[in-house]
Amino acid sequence: TVLTAVEDGVLRLTLNRPDKLNSFNDDMHRALYAGFERARDDDEIRAVLLTGSGRGFSAGQDLGDRDPRNGRADLGHTIETFYNPLLRLIRSLEKPVICAVNGVAAGAGANIAFACDIVLAAGSAKFIEAFAKIGLVPDSGGTWWLPRILGEPRAKALALTAEPLMADQAAEWGLIWRAVPDETLMDEATALAQKLAAGPTVGLGLTKRLIQDAATNDLDTQLDLERDAQREAGNSDDYAEGVTAFLEKRAPAFRGR
């Protein structure tokens, strides 16, 4: 349900239930979570690239898997078991996570994409906060970052109407990094992931954490966190290499530690 490949320090995770637009059943949840655990635990992996196979990125939860005609399931349990741990793992991973949205991203599929650090989307891709169509609320962090990134008016309109948002509009609104031509999406995303995987991993991981923490901190707290993180980054081998390479007028060879 998830294809896994490692190349040049990049762990590529491809959601792979194309017949169901890569909607999440329990197997795919487990496989994706295991992929991110591997990214966390394996020092050779220095960036993650998440994408989908076929014409969609992900249509969110597999609705056939939680068919209410077979009795009501506790959706809170599904969230607690699968979605929330995945979101926390992506956000706490101290390595860059690039998302290549190759096609439609709906429901939790959209919000999982938004949880990634840098999101590129194919021009033909669209994002749908589909929850309202079936009587649910946005999950997977949607109610947290949509209003923060877009402000309440746009966040509410997207979530209450479930209208699709095209990739270029999502980029214009700052929800994603860039919309790119369909044909070049995977090349651009792969190049970006490789570049980040060849970067100073300790510093990049700390940078990710600092920017996320800023959402809930005041300036004083954040200044203290920057001091502590800079101390840690300054102790990394990659900092020594970065400065040495600069002074020697050559490209740095970062090792990720």
Binding site for ligand LHQ (CB under 6 A): 20-21, 23, 59-64, 66, 75, 78-79, 104, 106-108, 128, 130-131, 133-134, 136, 139
What is the smallest separation between the CB atom of 217 and ligand LHQ, expressed in angstroms?
29
What is the smallest separation between the CB atom of 48 and ligand LHQ, expressed in angstroms?
21
Sign of the torsion angle spanned by Cα atoms 80, 81, 83, 89? positive
CB neighbours of residue 133 within 10 Å: 12
Nearest residue (CB) to ligand LHQ, 128 versus 185: 128
Nearest residue (CB) to ligand LHQ, 136 versus 225: 136
Q: Are 168 and 180 in contact (CB under 8 A)?
A: no
What is the smallest separation between the CB atom of 56 and ligand LHQ, expressed in angstroms?
7
What is the smallest separation between the CB atom of 160 and ligand LHQ, expressed in angstroms?
15
Rg (C-alpha) for the chain, rounded Å, is 19
Nearest residue (CB) to ligand LHQ, 59 versus 189: 59
Nearest residue (CB) to ligand LHQ, 38 versus 55: 55
Nearest residue (CB) to ligand LHQ, 19 versus 183: 19
Nearest residue (CB) to ligand LHQ, 64 versus 247: 64
What is the smallest separation between the CB atom of 139 and ligand LHQ, expressed in angstroms?
5
What is the smallest separation between the CB atom of 94 and ligand LHQ, expressed in angstroms?
27
